[in-house]
Amino acid sequence: MVLAYNEEEMIRGCLYGLKDLHNYVVISKPWYGTHIGFDKTEEYAKEMGAEVILKDFSSEKDERNFVMEKAKADGYDYVFVIDADEFYTKEDIKKAIDFIKDNPSERFNVSSCIYIWKNENWETLPRYERTIPVCYRSDMRFNNNRNIIAETKLLPPDITMYHFSYAGSDERILSKLQHFSHAKEMRPEWFDEIWKKWTPEMEDIHPGYNKHAFKRAIPYQCPEEIRLRFQNKL
């Protein structure tokens, strides 16, 4: 499943790596903030072959559980939980599918995550050390935004999530800060004082109140496939 509110900058790049899967892209009015209209996310997702669901939800948990129920009814045993700004190489998705087939569990986490900063040429440090849930058995149900308490296995460590949460245009970032599930946890001055004025010398650049989570950004060379997908050139 891919939940995508006004993610026209990211949705094609995300879905390109998921071509071996049946993709549910769910577009709802935002859980937080004021809805000001939809962009071309629906159009682009359909171009990429996704099944697009237009339905409004009051919370991220309810939206995800709706997709879990639909996937189960449609006969799918597992559901990948991938946001529009989370990219995987096509090869890594194949590795994950093979691992899940051979190692059944209720939940699978990824341990390698690189947070991209601004564009494909920068990453944040320190790298994220916690594992992130990315796949669940379809009969499981969420108890909060992205989490289900469940038996968990780690995907192979060479499978990497490239997280473009804080990358893209100023317009995308401002919309994200106003509408995503962590909107209430963001520092109000961050967009103007850090995002728009950022230089490589800056420290403590995470938008949340735990600003030290991103100590700084350093140059990074994305895999060619990921770079081209971020630039929408594939």
What does R_g of the chain's alpha carbons equal in angstroms?
17
Starting at the edge strand found earlier in the chain, the sheet holding 160-167 runs 86-87, 160-167, 112-118, 122-125, 216-219
Res 213: pLDDT: 93
Res 2: pLDDT: 98
Question: How, if at all, do strands 86-87 and 122-125 pair?
Answer: unpaired
Every domain of the chain and the residues it spans: 2-230
Residue type, 13: G
pLDDT digits (tens, 9 = 90+) for 75-112: 999 999 999 999 999 999 999 999 999 999 999 999 99
Residue (of 141, 135, 144, 130) closest to 108 by Cα position: 135
Residue type, 221: Q
- Classify burial at 83, counting beta carbons within 10 Å of its beta carbon; exposed 0-12, middle 13-18, buried 19 or more: buried
Using the Cα atoms of residue 232, residue 130, residue 94 and residue 50 in order, give the sign of their dihedral.
negative
CB contact at 8 A, 39 and 31: no
Q: What is the DSSP letter of 200?
A: T
Res 146: pLDDT: 86
**Phi and psi (nearest 5°) for 26?**
-105, 125
Starting at the edge strand found earlier in the chain, the sheet holding 78-80 runs 78-80, 132-137, 107-110, 152-154
* CATH classification code of 2-230: 3.90.550
Q: pLDDT tens track of the chain, all 234 residues? A: 999 999 999 999 999 999 989 999 999 999 888 898 999 999 999 999 999 999 999 999 999 999 999 999 999 999 999 999 999 999 999 999 999 999 999 999 999 999 999 999 999 999 988 999 999 999 999 998 888 999 999 999 999 999 999 999 999 999 999 988 888 889 999 999 999 999 999 999 999 989 989 999 999 999 999 999 999 988
Res 181: pLDDT: 81
Taking the C-alpha atoms of 48, 23, 170 and 127 in order, what is their torsion angle to the nearest 10 degrees?
Answer: -120
Going along the chain, which residue ranges are E strands? 2-3, 24-27, 51-54, 78-80, 86-87, 107-110, 112-118, 122-125, 132-137, 152-154, 160-167, 216-219
Residue written as token pair 């460590």:
157
CB contact at 8 A, 16 and 48: yes
pTM, full prediction: 0.95
Res 182: pLDDT: 84
Query: In DSSP terms, which residues pair with 53 in a beta bridge?
Result: 26
